[in-house]
Structure 1
Amino acid sequence: MTQKKGFLLLLIAPVIFYLLSFSQNDDPLARIIAGFDKYLKERPQEKIYIHFDRSYYAAGDTIWFKTYLTAGAFHEPSPLSRTIYVELIDKNKQLVTHLKLFSLDGSSAGYMPISDSLESGNYIVRAYTNWMRNSSEDYFFHRKIKIWNSEIPVPKDIPENNLDLQFFPEGGDLVHGIFSKVAIKATGTDGLGKRISGKILEGDKVIGEFISNGLGMGAFYMKPQKEKEYKARIDDYDKEVTLPDIKESGLAMSVNNSSKSDSVLVKILTTDHEASQTIYILAQTRGIVCYSARAFLNTNITIAKIPKSAFQSGIAQITVMDSNGIPLAERLIFMDQGDRISLKITPDKPTYAPRELVTLNIQAHDMHEMPLVANLSLAVYDNQQILTEENRETISSYLLLSSDLKGYIESPGYYFNPINEDREEALDYLLLTQGWRRYTVEDALNNNLGGSPYKVEQGLTIKGKMVDVYKDKPISGGKISLLSFFPAPETKIVKSNSQGEFEINNIIYFEPTDVVLHGETKKGNTSVKIITENSHDYPGTPDQILPFTERQTDIERTFVVNSEERRAIEKAFDFDEKMISLEEVEVLGKKVDLQSSPSKIYGSGSVNIQVAGVTSLENQIHPLQLIQGRVPGVQVRGSGTQWSVLIRGISSINGGTNPLIMIDDFPADIASLHTIPVEDIESVSVWKGPDASIFGARGANGVIGFYTKRGKEQIDPPKESPIPSIDAGFQIEREFYSPKYDIQKPEHIKPDKRVTLFWAPYILTDSSGRASISFYNHDVETSITGILEGISGAGISGASSFEYKITKE
């Protein structure tokens, strides 16, 4: 839909809207419109939406996801940022995982291994770009992710009888003598809506009643009097709540946005009207001004009728202002023009056998049945283990609704699901009770774009300090050269400041070995040392993470039980394809071959992991990722050069928590591990519990030993190198493992009980709007659900789902 700006002349006696031409200097309306126009041009707002392969996980699983990055009022794929940050945050607001993704054409795919040491609980996945930080945490993407760990006790349940009740007069205020609509919102301690009912009291007199829907929202009407006191008494709760204060005089607003009408009806009611009093009405959607007008208040009611065709899809803000442009009343409405992608997914069969090939045919059309080229992602999972939420968030509900409202939105898909007959009414309640987070009329009037300390990032940043290699003194005016190899060889040169500091921006690299830093003084002396530092400063964590309850649904209970079975299967069948299984033999004795042991000095560890020759391990970025989620009882967290390890059940006599780190049997600093390329590591051993006693007091926190291919040749472990360390780059994309059963292989004896059967982050429809995708089923007789989401190049979004069955009959 193209951008529209409209002025409407409406005569409703005795009110006349005057359409006049004003100069920007003397008319606040013109200044506001100019302010919004400047905002759209100079501060296009980026949004991130993430499509996950499912809604909850078990410790030890991997989260697969696709990010969609948009910019501007029309949600087109962002041409601005190429760097997306994705983080996992726990209930204590601690950062568990931090990833950097490279976004090309507004999308990227990633994965997040979950440590088997994480506690059961609610976690937050947060995503943002550096540019988005100019508009505060409110604009970041947040999604609650539930993680179950059957080996760690679940926290106790929370009380169920705590209740918070809030009141929201339509337009903003209760005004003496004006009949007004008042919305209510009731939430429990868990942050979710509560169904309640109650009575409105004027002193001891009951003047009205209210009842909320299943999401805790509702509304009632009242005509407040300034000398009266009003309270709400809640049924089944020993609680009374005082209503908001009543203004002696002023203006109130009422809006009717019925789907049965092709116009939005705005009523402005006032107690102290004057024929010379001027008001302005403005409606805007994401900065696009849809309607504006000026009127004189010569009666106590003024009515405006705004054609719905003037609006973009999404949330619109209607504001009534005084002659100075100061807002007197505001109201949010939602406009649905139906301009979303229609996605049709057709399996080639309604029913399949276990391990049978499934082929899906996909068609994408717009609202006019014209084919669309769309960028899509597909998740297919076992719906007897993963609950499919009918009212789940989708890319459309997020871009058009949730991303423009403050606070947590419960069941956002409820307002888009046609099976919910009250969704129009419920959506109106939501917009009456949730705050607007975007650029406001006041900002536009005052030309307040805010500062932009955070710049658009087209890549990563490397910063640090250059010092004299002998005296460690800063080198001023030195030259730092960076050679990068992606997407083509390129050299960037910067100079150090008076403190020896430097910063190089917009570098695209994935492995630290993809870039080379070189430094020299003004006179060309290369006896310098470059010390790099973490270039990313982490934003503050969210204020609230919803409490976690012990209650499990039947499906969740099945999922947790089956996750234990899957873990046992992985352990039982975790062998190299080149290994040969032998019949049972009796070992009467053995001679230790020190030359072939992981450690030539300390022998075999509690757990030993062969790295060389295992592609999935050799592709990891940091050595500690080799044990992350793979060694029971070992918790690994961190990114870049900042990592920590905790071996559960072990305590240090020195009060620390990090285990002893060894490289080829020589002690090393955990911070130096990032200098070792993972592809140079032969194997990893972990000693814990009694097995660590061989190390004496040094092994009180456990021991992790990395054994390099060079170590096999008796080369000394690496010492401090003049070559500067480089922070971790963008995450290297990894393909979701989906077995192929067309040709029988020895490893197919392993039972297949995948939860996520298939994950395809990059599906692109052709010019006819078509695409096709195939994968194989697992072993289980069950029902399968698929979720398809995506967006077009013009910013039109859509989501759809499908089901089929797996049966042996």
Structure 2
Amino acid sequence: MRRICLPIFIFTVLGLCSFSSSEDPLNRLVAGLKKYLDELPQEKIYLHFDRHHYLSGETIWFKAYLVAGAYHTPSTISRTVYVELINEQGERLHHLKLFAVDGSAAGDIELPDSLASGNYLVRAYTKWMRNTEEDYFFHHLIKIWNDNDLVVATASQTIPMDIQFFPEGGDMVDGILNKIAFKAIGNDGNGKEVKGKIVDESGEIVSHFKSNSLGIGSFLFTPRKDKNYRAIVDNHPQEVNLPGIKESGLTVSINNSPRLNEVIVRIQTTDFSKIETIYILAQTRGIVCYTARANLTTNIVIAKIPKSKFPAGVAQITITDRNGIPLAERLIFLNENEDRLSLNITPDKSTYKPREKVTFQIQATNANGTPAITDLSLAVVDSAQVPLDENHETINTYLLLSSELKGIIESPGSYFNPMNNNRDVDLDNLLLTQGWRRFALKKALEPNWQKPNYKSEQGLTIKGKMVQSDNNKPVADGKVSYLTLYPIPGTKQVRTNPSGDFEMDNILYFDSTQITLQGETKSGNKRVKFLLNNISDLPANRFLIPHLQRSQTEFERNFVAKSVDRKNIDDAYNFNGKTILLDEVEIRTSKVNSKSNVSHIYGEGSISVKVVDDPAMENQLHPLQLIQGRVPGVQVMGNGTDWKVLIQGIGSINSDITPLILVDNMPVSIESLNMLMVRDIESYNVWKGPDAAIFGARGANGVIGFYTKKGGDFNLPAEGILTFNDFGFRVEREFYAPLYDVKRPDHTKPDRRVTLYWNPLIQTDSSGCATVSFYNHDLETTVAGILQGNSKSGSSGSVRVKYLIKGSE
């Protein structure tokens, strides 16, 4: 045994003695990484939700934290944040624009009552983030239930699994002991606990494997090039072949034990003649923490890297050849230098009565104990109705871990939970199986980087082309003026380029806003028109949303049942959390007739639809959206100000397929509808087939008629003017929380809220303090809250709080 250990010890010493500073390629890599941080700083978005389980008809409340750079400071790169809700079919159901101030914004998503049960993806990003892959976006899966969906329990059955194996460092090399990590995922997207054995082609068992509850694990194994290996999973028919084995190559093994002050990196090869000199680079979020050069003439090199050199987070250790080409790569997690924000939240009592006032004292300090001015959000829920999972994502786990890896990390909090005794081993196995998605070193070696395709946004953008009215020729060096009156009057002017294109960026408008553009040529001629290119250029979603398993857990059945009870209470009392009951007053006025004053001289058409008093229709942005998907045989395509309509079954007598458009019985162009406000429309009719014959040749392509409430009040725009409606930044709504300090008639309604309190706008003062208050609901229960936030210096933190509700009011 002594004779075996001695050569390895000598190899180790020789390997360490061969380290020296490097001139190439390390200097190029270091310079490239610095350039990357300076010119392409990365933004990240984290969303804090009020909870993670919802029923159709409820509201998702959230706070967006937008940070940038290696130290996660509040971003000044972008102010426009996009948040989307996407269903299992990949359809974008909501697309919100939020205006971020000092790196934060708050919003909400109202879920329709008709929304089907399913898994839904909440995705958030900025336009600047689109310069990289979609993996940089924030992704979060939310399960939404509809109580009208029939859900039945299903018998236990074998679930198909995807099992993948990942050699440490990237390759299995003949004759070298390898650590092989693995991950088993079910078709629901969640990890599946597995165990089994590794066998060669003769069936001989060479190793065993067993995962944790999330389907992740690792095992040691020395492969042979003349053997083929496969994994056999116990109690499962599936068998998986292991990756191929290289005859020669390089392997990396890491010892990142929390008991050590250094990271031990062991590099081994079977043939040093092919790789004599290697280069080691370790970096975290682009910050270079360690570089070295080593000679592999001994076949083994061991490097010791002080952990104190690394900021907290995921570190990438890469071994390259003399050309900077990666030979092996390994991810590790380090938190020795974590600059975590310390948060304390203290209730004024440990036990309260129903509807009693609750007061929280909040204290935020930096890692050195000094007060921290901090941007915070707080969610407080009834844990009997919807528990707060201790292992769920927080701002800490996201910024330091999840945002650095590919895919959604299941139960990320478990890797930081002190109650998990295996968290260090589990975290190391996670980093062996999860794909690296941040900066690729080969980019640092590129002499010239491509200019970003997407600019950062400090507001919204309107772009298009200005052309001459009579011949559609581009207007070069023309003047385009912009005007909006909400929320405050705003104007802007730009000139068109030689192709007639123009772009107005960083403008501010909110909710559904009427916008006016006015144009003229260089000589002042106003006979121009606009071709807007504001059709949303939205990124495709490549994230796989797993199909909802139709069987419910006991918690989910209980959650849906209690949600139905709350809906029944709302219906019985005929008001909800969005309604304010006013004291009785006497109103003296005359009735306003909302019916159009214009007679329908052409009759009611094939279809007649009333718009007024229908919220789902009155909240639309463009008149043609009232028809889109609502009238059989009529196809409406477009967005912004560019729309096309096709009435099927109509035989066109010319090349134009556009139907005749009427407003209050007067023919108008389809472009003129851009200035007709939906809120001014009382109803619309559609004539098609034989019903359109009354219009003669004009109705050959069908007819659509809109009728306004006032009637005859619709005016065509003057030359050179375009007026249209667009959705701007979403105006933040206030979360409804009842005040029980003074008795009111509406307080007779039973209060069974799930979310008792949601506040996305908590700011600590110069002493690091803040105070919040709210009132309990009616139920005896345990209430749980989570406070999260980020300081101006980029320190993030989260803390949980609990208290009891007991007794009677």
The TM tier, using the shorter chain, reads 0.7 to 0.9
Question: How many residues end up aligned between the 2 structures?
Answer: 752
SS at match of 2:308: helix
Aligned mate of 1:178, from 166, 176, 179: 176
Structure 1: 5+ residue stretches without partners: 1-9, 583-592, 645-651, 655-660, 688-694, 696-703
**How far apart, CA to CA, are the structure 2 residues paired with 1:720 and 1:800?**
57
Return closer, same or farther for 1:336/1:47 CA change in 2, 3 Å cut-off: same
Aligned to 1:194: 192
Cα shift at 1:345: 1.1
Deviations 1:110-162, CA, capped at 9 Å, x for gaps = 11111122111001111111111111111011110111111244599796421
Cα shift at 1:567: 2.7
Return closer, same or farther for 1:761/1:163 CA change in 2, 3 Å cut-off: same
The residue correspondences of 1:396-411 to structure 2 (distance < 5 A) are 396-411=396-411
Cα shift at 1:299: 1.1
Aligned to 1:649: none
Q: Which amino acid aligns with 2:792?
A: G
Aligned to 2:26: 29
Alignment partner of 1:136 is 2:121: no
**How far apart, CA to CA, are the structure 1 residues paired with 2:62 and 2:83?**
10
Q: Which amino acid aligns with 1:196?
A: V
Q: Which amino acid aligns with 1:366?
A: N
Q: Which amino acid aligns with 1:340?
A: R
The residue correspondences of 1:60-75 to structure 2 (distance < 5 A) are 60-75=57-72
CA root-mean-square deviation? 4.1
Deviations 1:386-442, CA, capped at 9 Å, x for gaps = 132121011111111111111221111110111111111100110011111011222
SS at match of 1:727: strand
**How far apart, CA to CA, are the structure 1 residues paired with 2:638 and 2:444?**
41
**How far apart, CA to CA, are the structure 2 residues paired with 1:444 and 1:68?**
28
Aligned mate of 1:38, from 28, 35, 40: 35
- Preserved contact between residue 194 and residue 214 of structure 1 (Cα < 8 Å): yes
Q: Which amino acid aligns with 1:68?
A: Y
SS at match of 1:16: helix
SS at match of 1:213: coil
Structure 2: 5+ residue stretches without partners: 1-9, 631-635, 651-660, 686-691, 693-703
Cα shift at 1:274: 4.9
Cα shift at 1:339: 2.3
Q: Which amino acid aligns with 1:285?
A: T
- Preserved contact between residue 378 and residue 759 of structure 1 (Cα < 8 Å): yes
Cα shift at 1:752: 2.4
Return closer, same or farther for 1:491/1:239 CA change in 2, 3 Å cut-off: closer
Return closer, same or farther for 1:375/1:676 CA change in 2, 3 Å cut-off: farther
Cα shift at 1:706: 10
Q: Which amino acid aligns with 1:318?
A: I
- Preserved contact between residue 536 and residue 639 of structure 2 (Cα < 8 Å): no
Q: Which amino acid aligns with 1:286?
A: R
- Preserved contact between residue 197 and residue 210 of structure 1 (Cα < 8 Å): yes
- Preserved contact between residue 509 and residue 730 of structure 1 (Cα < 8 Å): yes
Aligned to 1:228: 227
The residue correspondences of 1:409-420 to structure 2 (distance < 5 A) are 409-420=409-420
- Preserved contact between residue 393 and residue 413 of structure 1 (Cα < 8 Å): yes
**How far apart, CA to CA, are the structure 1 residues paired with 2:470 and 2:642?**
26
Return closer, same or farther for 1:467/1:667 CA change in 2, 3 Å cut-off: closer
SS at match of 2:253: strand
Q: Which amino acid aligns with 2:734?
A: E
Aligned to 1:151: 148
Deviations 1:587-637, CA, capped at 9 Å, x for gaps = xxxxxx9974656789999997498xxxx999x79489999xxx9xxxx99
Alignment partner of 1:561 is 2:561: yes
Aligned mate of 1:95, from 92, 95, 112: 92
Deviations 1:337-395, CA, capped at 9 Å, x for gaps = 34211211111111222222111111112333332111101111222221321210111
Return closer, same or farther for 1:512/1:494 CA change in 2, 3 Å cut-off: farther
Return closer, same or farther for 1:456/1:156 CA change in 2, 3 Å cut-off: farther
SS at match of 1:178: coil
Q: Which amino acid aligns with 1:371?
A: P
- Preserved contact between residue 598 and residue 707 of structure 1 (Cα < 8 Å): no
Aligned to 2:429: 429
- Preserved contact between residue 784 and residue 803 of structure 1 (Cα < 8 Å): yes
Aligned to 1:648: none
Cα shift at 1:108: 0.6
**How far apart, CA to CA, are the structure 2 residues paired with 1:195 and 1:751?**
43
- Preserved contact between residue 354 and residue 778 of structure 1 (Cα < 8 Å): yes
Alignment partner of 1:799 is 2:802: no
Of 515-524 and 567-576, more deviation after overlay is shown by 567-576
Cα shift at 1:270: 1.3
- Preserved contact between residue 151 and residue 551 of structure 2 (Cα < 8 Å): no
- Preserved contact between residue 170 and residue 432 of structure 1 (Cα < 8 Å): yes
Cα shift at 1:751: 2.9
The residue correspondences of 1:47-446 to structure 2 (distance < 5 A) are 47-153=44-150, 160-202=158-200, 203-274=202-273, 277-337=276-336, 338-446=338-446
Deviations 1:233-255, CA, capped at 9 Å, x for gaps = 11111232211111111111110
- Preserved contact between residue 280 and residue 291 of structure 2 (Cα < 8 Å): yes
**How far apart, CA to CA, are the structure 1 residues paired with 2:804 and 2:664?**
52
Alignment partner of 1:724 is 2:714: no
Q: Which amino acid aligns with 1:62?
A: T
Q: Which amino acid aligns with 1:728?
A: F
- Preserved contact between residue 22 and residue 293 of structure 2 (Cα < 8 Å): no
- Preserved contact between residue 676 and residue 714 of structure 2 (Cα < 8 Å): no
Return closer, same or farther for 1:747/1:723 CA change in 2, 3 Å cut-off: farther
Return closer, same or farther for 1:723/1:767 CA change in 2, 3 Å cut-off: same
**How far apart, CA to CA, are the structure 2 residues paired with 1:84 and 1:111?**
13
SS at match of 1:761: strand
- Preserved contact between residue 372 and residue 768 of structure 1 (Cα < 8 Å): yes
Deviations 1:672-727, CA, capped at 9 Å, x for gaps = 8874668x66x98999xxxxxxx9xxxxxxxx99997xx36x55456667442142
- Give the fraction of aligned pairs with identical amino acids, expressed as a percent: 51
**How far apart, CA to CA, are the structure 2 residues paired with 1:505 and 1:183?**
48
**How far apart, CA to CA, are the structure 1 residues paired with 2:739 and 2:622?**
30
Deviations 1:70-128, CA, capped at 9 Å, x for gaps = 11111111110111111111111111111111111111111111112211100111111
**How far apart, CA to CA, are the structure 1 residues paired with 2:564 and 2:15?**
71
